[in-house]
Structures are given as C-alpha cells and as structure tokens.
C-alpha cells in the first residue's frame, strides 16, 4: 500500500501538509491574527503617546521597533504548539507525522505569520512614529527578513518546550529572551545603521551574524526536537 | 503481509512509580491481543507505547520482520482509536480524514474517504465540523480516521466508549473484518467487548 | 572528611591573604602587593569576583553536559547532577554580578553601565533564571529533566554569539575605553599566586558543595525507588 517514493519527498509533503493544516485552521478561526494585529496597534499607540511629537534619537527608535516586534512574536508564535496541547491533538499529530516534519511544518507557519506581522508593524511604525526615517532601505529590508527568520526559528523551538510545561504564557518570554538577545542586539544595530544611511557593506558583519544564528538555531532545533516532542 | 507485533520486556515508570514491567508478547496476523487490567493498571499507557507515541522505560516494541525503511515506520502501520485521541475540531469529518492521509504523505483517496465515512454511519455529516458532533459521532469518525490509511494493526482502547447499540454493532463488524487480514489489539475493562481473544496480557499482575 | 578540612583551611588562608596583605607603592617584600593605578585597595575584589564569575560559567557548562548525558542514557542521576550544578552556578552568578557591580561603582562611578562583561554575566543570570523557571513549571520528573536539558543546550549554543556581537555594538555605541585591567597576566607574582589559589579554592568549594548535594538527592532518589 505504501507508495515507494523517496523518503525526502514524502517528508516534504508531510511538512507542507502540517503547515497547511495550521494555516487553514488559522484562517478558519482567526484566533491569532486578530489578537496580534490589535497588539501591534495598541503597542504603537502607547509609544506614540509616550514619545509624542518630539520623537526620539534613531538608536532608541530602532530599539523600540524591535521591542514591539519581539513582544508581537511572544504573543503569537507559541500558539502553534500550545493549541495542539490544549486541545489534546498532540498525540494525533504524533500518530501522523515524524517529529522533524512537525517541527519544520510549524516553523514554516510561524515564519509566514511573523513576516506578515512584521511587515504590518513596520508599516505602522514608519507611518506614525516621527523621526523614524530609513536612509538605506537595502540594509533595512534584509534586516527585517533575516530578523524575522531568526525570530521564527528560536520562537518555534522554545514554543515546543513550553507547550509541555504549565504556566505557558509567562514562561514563553522568560525562556525566549536570553536566546533571542543576540539576534535582537544585532538587528537593532543593523536598523540603526540603516537609519543613519550607512553603506550596505557596513552591515555585512551583522548579516553574517544573523545568518549563522539562523543556521545554528535551526540545526540545534532539529537535533533536540525529538526529545521534546515525544514523551 | 505477514507481520508480527513483538514486545520484549516492556517496562514503564515515571515519577518514581512503576506502572508495569516485564510485559512481553508476540501477536501475528489474524490474532486478537487483549490487554486487560483494572482502571489505573496501565492499559492506556501500554497501548500508547505500542502506537509509538510514548517511549518505554525499558524494553522494545518491534514489527517483525523489520520492514524496509519506511516513511513514518510504525505509526503508519497502526490505526488508533481511544477516548483520549482527539480529532481536529475546526475541520470537517472529511477534512480530518484527508489530513490523516496527506500528513502521512499518502494520496488522499476521495472515494475511499466517502465510503469509509458512510460505513461508520456519518454519510450525511461528512462536511460538518467535528466540533458540532456528539461524543458518539466523534467516536465513529475516529474509527474512520484510524482505518483510512489501511493499517495492518488496529489498536483499540475502550472500543465501545460513547457508542449506542448500533455503534457497538458497527465496531464488532469492523473488528471482525480487520481480524481477517491484520492484527487486532484491544484494551478494555469490559470483557464483553470482544467475544474471543488469542493472546492476553494481564496488567494486574505486571507490577 | 579530610578534604573538607583542607578546603576550609585553604580558603581561610587565601581570604586572609587577599584581604590583609598590604598594598604598597613599591613592593620590597614578597608579601606585599603593588598598587594598581585607579584601583588601590579595591583591587582585592579581584580575588572574589573573578573566581565566582568563572565558576558560574563552568557550572553552566557542567550542567549542560550532564543534561546531554541524561538525554542519552535517561538516568535520573544525571539530571540530579545537572540541576545541582545549575543551582550552584546560579548562586555564583548572582555573587559575580553583585561583586562586579560593586567593582564597577568603585572604578567607573556607576553600578551598571552595560559593558560587555556586565552584560554577559547578566545574560547568564537570565538564562539561569529561565532554566529554573522552566524546571518549576513541569511536574513529571522525566519530562522536567528532558526539557531542562534541551533548554540548556539551546542556551549554550546561542551564548557564543555574544562574543562576536559585543565588539560590533561597542564600537558604535560606546566609544570610551571600557575594558580595564582585569586579571591580566602582568600581575605581580604574589598577587598572581593569591589569585590562582583563590580560583582553586573556590572551585574546590563548588565541587564540594555540588558533590554533597548530588549525594543527598541520589539517596533520596534511590530510596523512594525501593518501594
């Protein structure tokens, strides 16, 4: 009965099916996306009240952008694993797919989610926060892209961990922050460079760090996920 | 397919309590394995280990002869029905079955899905979300979910739970049918659930 | 027994030497320390701050290694060793952060200024905190051990990135020189000796405490198992 195809392509289909399951589930229930959009809107509004029309120095604005992005991620990226635990479907998924397919399927879902959310955040931020001007767009776009990928990578594996614990909500940022700190420091620095109008080459160091961070986190996630996922 | 489900010296313990130990058996095609024991004796734990969703503390479970490296290995060979196995609420019965195939990287066979859902008596509710179903209806869909990928091994934990007389009849038919060509494993308190068994694992004695 | 006594005596001697040996501008006798410009008497903190910082890192690595051992062999003894190492490491990390802040106050006027070393020890503190928050949030022993081990691995692989990031950030944000003389090898011989003895002494203290804690918990583990 089993079709004799390469295991690789079957793994890929498994992974995509898991991604699509989460995707369709989200489209149907819209739990995460509405809460996240409101979160970003609220947070940026609070910042607007705090900063007012005076604005703030570019480094500060760069850092605050990533604060909003970080907490947006903390609000939304654990759902993919936590919802399975809460509804009791973790075992169902264990019956259907190998652990690595689950990891990468959900990683892909979180990636799409965070990129969409960050695009929205950046849009609002650029429109409403005075003093936030990006002079080198190339640095900024690559930073947002790589930053989102790194954010998704770390957030997904940590989500896998906390889904199996109690007090998931408060635990998530506590565990994620030290892991994400290298990423945050790097992207804040790169964003500041972009705001100051630095040349693309000046940010090479940052991009190198981001890419290696992503590779390291994804690799380690793959290696340890089996232990987390299966009891 | 002539396969055997072989358990060797299975032991499970957690939080410093031994649930069971020294559980061994071999079950072949056309055989029924009964897992008996009081509440709390570890029947569900053993069933989960057989389904490969839980790791034993000691011992092994194997399918012999070892099949060539297959994608999904043991989980694709097993169909699992239990009160604690949950379907995806926000999806329809049909969609759940489709996912049971696509996530296993198998081709979704539309006609077989229709046939199976009719077989379990859910023909007119195929496209309704599972969240709208009663527990008896969900149990029926769970049977379809467990059979849709043609597994040689059927693992049933409390097979008749939530079912009315008609449902119980349906399950007996499914069990008889499956027994012709596969291995049937039933874990239950209620010995009237199955009329006869070939192998018995009594967990009351396995502490 | 003997080890305990030797350790006690050793550390007492080291601490006394560290605190009492005079600091003079031009050391003539072997028992005198030179003045380090800008630090003078405060240099004595070197004997306490550096060993605790060093131990908090060693303890973390040790915890991670025993965590990996647990993942491979699934023996709860390894988890006990891992958690005990982390507990002691946490304590030493707090000590290191506090002594570091005191040193910073004397040297640069503020308790905290986010220089690389202070930031690194702070991040380590956060990791320890997160580790124990995770442990307390899992009821089942085996699961707790697994998740804690996995988290310590993830934390350990992301920490090295700080080494590469710090220079880049500092070059742009903090132009003033921040790194000061901190245990460089140009130490006067007497100071070096006392310093190394202090490191050895504190390491011995850590190992003794760790060993004690592990043994207690192992007895508890194996006795409950006997039922």
User: Could you tell me the CATH number of the domain that includes residue B19?
Assistant: 3.40.50.300
Give the helix/strand (H/E) hosting B12: strand B4-14
Exposure on the CB side of residue C30, measured as CA atoms within 13 A = 2
Question: pLDDT value at position A3?
Answer: 52
With respect to residue A150, please indicate whether it lies within any of the assigned structural domains.
Answer: yes
pLDDT band of B135, cuts 50, 70, 90: very high
Question: pLDDT value at position B139?
Answer: 95
B14 contact C CB<8A = yes
Question: pLDDT value at position B68?
Answer: 54
* Residues belonging to chain B: 207
**Average pLDDT across chain C, whole number:** 83
- Enter the tokens of residue A166: 């109690």
Lowest mean pLDDT among B150-154, C171-175, C198-202: C171-175
Question: pLDDT value at position C178?
Answer: 35
In this complex, do A96 and B99 lie within 8 Å of one another by their Cβ atoms? Answer: yes
The CA-CA-CA angle for residues A169, A171, A173, to 5°, reads 90
In this complex, do C74 and B57 lie within 8 Å of one another by their Cβ atoms? Answer: yes
Given a cut of 80, is residue B195 above it in pLDDT? Answer: no
* C203 vs C109 pLDDT, higher one: C203
With respect to residue A2, please indicate whether it lies within any of the assigned structural domains.
Answer: no
Contact B156, B187 (CB under 8 A): yes
With respect to residue A1, please indicate whether it lies within any of the assigned structural domains.
Answer: no
Given a cut of 50, is residue B6 above it in pLDDT? Answer: yes
B100 contact A CB<8A = yes
Q: Regarding beta strands B183-188 and B32-36, do their DSSP bridges make them parallel or antiparallel, or are they unpaired?
A: parallel
B2 contact A CB<8A = no
- A 10 A CB-CB count for A25 gives 20
* B8 vs C37 pLDDT, higher one: B8
Stretch C62-89: mean pLDDT, rounded?
Answer: 95
- Enter the tokens of residue A122: 């950046």
* A136 vs C148 pLDDT, higher one: C148
**What residue has token string 């130490």?**
C187
With respect to residue A77, please indicate whether it lies within any of the assigned structural domains.
Answer: yes
Q: Which residues of B touch A3 (CB under 8 A)?
A: 106-107
In this complex, do A182 and C162 lie within 8 Å of one another by their Cβ atoms? Answer: yes
In this complex, do B70 and A2 lie within 8 Å of one another by their Cβ atoms? Answer: yes
Question: Three-class SS of residue A158?
Answer: helix
DSSP secondary structure of B164-187: -HHHHHHHHHHHHHHHHHSEEEEE
With respect to residue A216, please indicate whether it lies within any of the assigned structural domains.
Answer: yes
Give me the percent of chain C exceeding a pLDDT of 70: 83
Considering only CB atoms, A10 lies closest to which of B85, B91, B105, namely: B105
By the 10 Å C-beta count (0-12 exposed, 13-18 middle, 19+ buried), B182 is classed as buried
Stretch B158-180: mean pLDDT, rounded?
Answer: 91
Question: pLDDT value at position C187?
Answer: 65
Question: pLDDT value at position A160?
Answer: 96
pLDDT digits (tens, 9 = 90+) for C77-132: 999 999 999 999 999 999 999 988 888 887 778 888 777 778 889 999 999 999 99
Lowest mean pLDDT among A78-92, B105-119, C12-26: C12-26
Given a cut of 70, is residue C173 above it in pLDDT? Answer: no
Q: CA nearest B16 in C: which residue?
A: C225
- What predicted TM-score, i.e. pTM, was given to this entire model? 0.91
Give the helix/strand (H/E) hosting B76: helix B73-77
Contact B71, A3 (CB under 8 A): no
Q: CA nearest B75 in A: which residue?
A: A95
Question: Three-class SS of residue A129?
Answer: coil
Indicate the number of domains in chain A. 1
Contact A175, A161 (CB under 8 A): yes
How much of chain A is in helix, strand and coil states, percent to nearest 5? 85, 0, 15
Q: Which residue positions in chain A have pLDDT lower than 50?
A: 1-2
Of B26, B27, B29, B21, residue with least CA distance to B1: B29
Q: Which residues of C touch A186 (CB under 8 A)?
A: 165, 168
pLDDT digits (tens, 9 = 90+) for B32-59: 999 988 888 889 999 999 999 999 999 9
The residues facing B7 across adjacent strands are B25, B61
Indicate the number of domains in chain B. 1
In this complex, do A231 and C137 lie within 8 Å of one another by their Cβ atoms? Answer: no
B90 contact A CB<8A = yes
The Cα–Cα gap between A115 and C77 comes to 43
Q: Which residue segment(s) compose the domain that B185 sits in?
A: 4-205
Report for B43-57, B186-200, C42-56: range of highest mean pLDDT = B43-57
pLDDT digits (tens, 9 = 90+) for A121-147: 999 998 888 888 888 899 999 999 999
Q: How far is B157 from chain C (nearest CA, A)?
A: 24
With respect to residue A75, please indicate whether it lies within any of the assigned structural domains.
Answer: yes
Q: Which residues of B touch A92 (CB under 8 A)?
A: 85-88
* B40 vs B10 pLDDT, higher one: B10
C220 contact B CB<8A = no
In this complex, do C150 and A216 lie within 8 Å of one another by their Cβ atoms? Answer: no
* B198 vs C183 pLDDT, higher one: B198
φ, ψ for residue B72, nearest 5 deg: 80, -10
Stretch B2-26: mean pLDDT, rounded?
Answer: 88
Contact B101, B135 (CB under 8 A): no
Q: Which residue segment(s) compose the domain that A149 sits in?
A: 7-229
C225 contact B CB<8A = yes
pLDDT band of C175, cuts 50, 70, 90: very low
Q: How far is B57 from chain C (nearest CA, A)?
A: 8
Question: pLDDT value at position C180?
Answer: 43
């Amino acid at each position: 009965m089993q079709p004799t195809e390469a295991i690789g392509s079957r793994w890929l289909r498994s992974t995509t099916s898991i991604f699509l399951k989460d995707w369709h589930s989200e489209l149907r229930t819209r739990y995460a996306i509405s809460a996240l959009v409101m979160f970003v809107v609220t947070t940026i509004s609070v910042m607007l009240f705090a900063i007012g029309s005076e604005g703030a120095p570019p480094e500060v604005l760069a850092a605050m952008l990533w604060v909003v992005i970080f907490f947006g991620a903390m609000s939304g990226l654990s759902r993919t694993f936590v919802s399975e635990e809460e509804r009791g479907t973790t075992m169902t998924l264990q019956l259907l797919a190998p652990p690595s397919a689950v990891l990468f399927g959900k990683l892909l879902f979180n990636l799409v989610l965070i990129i969409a959310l960050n695009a929205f955040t950046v849009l609002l931020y650029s429109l409403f926060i005075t003093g936030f001007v990006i002079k080198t767009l190339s640095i900024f776009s690559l930073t947002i892209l790589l930053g989102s990928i790194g954010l998704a990578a770390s957030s997904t594996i940590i989500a896998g961990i906390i889904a199996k614990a109690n007090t998931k909500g408060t635990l998530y940022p506590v565990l994620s922050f030290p892991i994400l700190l290298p990423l945050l420091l790097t992207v804040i620095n790169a964003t500041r460079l972009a705001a100051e109008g630095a040349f693309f080459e000046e940010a090479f160091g940052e991009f190198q760090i981001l890419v290696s961070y992503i590779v390291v986190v994804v690799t380690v996630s793959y290696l340890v996920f089996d232990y987390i996922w299966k009891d | 397919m002539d396969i055997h489900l072989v358990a060797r010296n299975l032991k499970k313990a957690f939080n410093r309590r031994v649930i069971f130990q020294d559980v061994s058996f071999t079950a072949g095609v056309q055989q029924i394995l009964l897992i008996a024991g009081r509440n709390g004796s570890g029947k569900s734990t053993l069933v989960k280990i057989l389904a490969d969703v839980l790791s034993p503390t000691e011992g092994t479970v194997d399918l012999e002869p070892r099949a060539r490296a297959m994608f999904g290995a043991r989980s694709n060979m097993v169909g699992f029905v239990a009160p604690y196995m949950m379907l995806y609420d926000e999806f329809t019965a049909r969609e759940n079955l489709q996912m049971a195939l696509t996530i296993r990287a198998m081709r979704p066979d539309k006609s077989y899905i229709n046939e199976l859902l009719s077989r379990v008596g859910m023909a007119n509710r195929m496209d309704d979300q599972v969240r709208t179903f009663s527990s008896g209806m969900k149990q029926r869909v769970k049977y379809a979910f467990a059979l849709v990928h043609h597994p040689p091994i059927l693992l049933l934990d409390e097979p008749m739970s939530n079912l009315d007389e008609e449902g119980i009849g349906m399950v007996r038919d499914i069990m008889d049918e499956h027994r012709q060509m596969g291995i049937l494993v039933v874990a239950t308190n209620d010995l009237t659930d199955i009329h006869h068994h070939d192998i018995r694992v009594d967990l009351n004695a396995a502490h | 027994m003997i080890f305990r006594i030797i350790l006690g005596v050793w550390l007492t001697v080291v601490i006394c030497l560290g605190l009492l040996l005079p600091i003079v501008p031009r050391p003539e006798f072997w028992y005198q320390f030179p003045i380090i410009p800008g630090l003078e008497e405060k240099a004595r903190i070197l004997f306490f701050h550096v060993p605790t910082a060093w131990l908090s890192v060693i303890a973390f690595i040790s915890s991670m290694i025993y965590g990996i051992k647990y993942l491979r062999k699934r023996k709860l003894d390894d988890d006990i060793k891992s958690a005990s190492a982390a507990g002691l490491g946490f304590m030493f990390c707090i000590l290191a952060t506090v002594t570091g802040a005191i040193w910073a106050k004397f040297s640069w006027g503020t308790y905290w200024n986010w220089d690389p070393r202070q930031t690194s020890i702070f991040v380590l503190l956060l990791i320890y905190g997160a580790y124990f928050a995770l442990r307390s949030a899992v009821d089942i022993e085996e699961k707790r051990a697994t998740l804690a081990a996995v988290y310590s691995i993830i934390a350990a692989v992301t920490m090295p990135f700080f080494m590469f990031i710090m220079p880049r950030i500092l070059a742009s944000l903090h132009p003033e020189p921040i790194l000061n003389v901190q245990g460089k090898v140009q130490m006067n011989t007497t100071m070096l000796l006392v310093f190394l003895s202090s490191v050895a002494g504190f390491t011995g203290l850590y190992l003794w405490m760790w060993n004690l804690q592990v043994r207690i918990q192992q007895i508890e583990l194996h006795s409950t198992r006997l039922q």
